[in-house]
Amino acid sequence: MKALLQRVSRAEVTVEGESLGSVASGLLVLLGVEKTDTKLHAEWLARKIISLRIFEDSDQKINRSVIDISGSVLVVSQFTLCADLSRGNRPGFSYAAAPNFAELLYNEFCVQLKGHGVPIAEGRFGAEMKVDLVNDGPFTIWLDTGDLMRS
């Protein structure tokens, strides 16, 4: 799984002008699911994200997690994170999971976040979405379970 995290002061996802979900202080997670991903990847990634100390404490040190700040997470499916750009200029998506499988793991990831007590909002899997956000910092992190679970 690949996740692009953005620390936000607010974020909202809409489809055809209808708001599907929004968060105030917390994280926007754009999530891509690859063919080789499993439920273990979803569990690991959810635990990693809620544990990341990327929010400031009272001394302005980056020392608090999304749970510590009572923050929320907006999760948006983003298969284009699985793009293969190794040849030519047109992205290939052969590493991306098939939609049915990807949706199962996307939902599992959301269940895992909720299981840790994190309030979440979601986009609509497979829909053409608009995401509006205010990146706080800006603070953006790239996570790839293929890289991280090996270490």
36 is catalytic: no
**One of 79, 109, 112, 125 is an active-site residue; which one?**
79
137 Ramachandran zone, left/alpha/beta (phi>0; psi -120 to 50): left
60 is catalytic: no
**One of 78, 109, 112, 125 is an active-site residue; which one?**
78
User: In a 10 Å sphere around its CB, with 0-12 CB exposed, 13-18 middle and 19+ buried, how is residue 5 labelled?
Assistant: buried
Backbone angles phi, psi at 61, to 5 degrees: -100, 140
**One of 6, 38, 60, 80 is an active-site residue; which one?**
80
Alpha-carbon span 114 to 107, nearest angstrom: 11
80 is catalytic: yes
SS3 call for 81: helix
Residue ranges of alpha helices (H) inside the chain are 39-51, 99-115, 145-148
Q: Which two tokens stand for residue 66?
A: 């999304």
Q: Report, as residue numbers or ranges, the catalytic residues.
A: 78-80
